[in-house]
Structure 1
Amino acid sequence: MGSATCLHLIESKSHIEAAMVGVAHLEDAESLKHQLRCIHRQLEAMHEMEIHAASRRAVVDVLKPSSVR
């Protein structure tokens, strides 16, 4: 939706993806790889929640009655 929160979440996911690439070929790093995947999924879920919340806010704003002058 372009909100600051969405942009921060997208940036965070990008950093985690870069870390995942960086550790992809490391031996004995399965636990770390798993943690990075979990963090990425959490960020993705937060992003989805923010998108849905922003959509709901937009609908509420559209449905609000205009102020009478």
Structure 2
Amino acid sequence: MVDTVDLNWLRLNEKSLKNAMSYEPGSLECRLLIDAKHHLELALASLSSLPQSDHIQRQLKAVHQQLEGMHDLKRKQPLHSPV
């Protein structure tokens, strides 16, 4: 099976999917946030070809933006070394 969905349309927070997927997790919490965002991106790609899914897509994009905000806050926190 070949996936023919064009993911270039997916732009969240002015980032393309390619930029959203370039990451290097710094903690378990960051890894979980990255995974959650990735799964939402996959769901959005799947929904893009379904009729009458605009409302759900907008909701998922809003959740993605909230996760991105949480991830931004996490990235700004200094790394704590174990004592």
- TM-score when normalising by structure 1: 0.75
* Aligned counterpart for 1:32 among listed residues 37, 40, 56: 56
Counterpart CA distance in 1 for 2:53 and 2:29 is: 31
Counterpart CA distance in 2 for 1:29 and 1:15 is: 17
The share of aligned pairs that are identical, in percent, is 32
After TM superposition, the structure 1 = structure 2 runs for residues 1-69 of structure 1, keeping only pairs within 5 Å, are 2-53=26-77, 55=78, 57-58=79-80
**Hey, which of these two has a bigger chunk of strand by percent?**
2
Moved over 3 A (4+): none
Over the aligned positions, Cα root-mean-square deviation in angstroms equals 1.5
**Hey, which of these two has a bigger chunk of helix by percent?**
1
Q: How many residues align?
A: 57
Counterpart CA distance in 2 for 1:28 and 1:3 is: 38
Matched letter for residue 4 of structure 1 = L
- TM-score when normalising by structure 2: 0.63
- The DSSP-based 3-state class of the residue aligned with 1:27 is coil
Q: Mind listing any 5+ residue stretches in structure 1 that lack a counterpart? A: 62-69
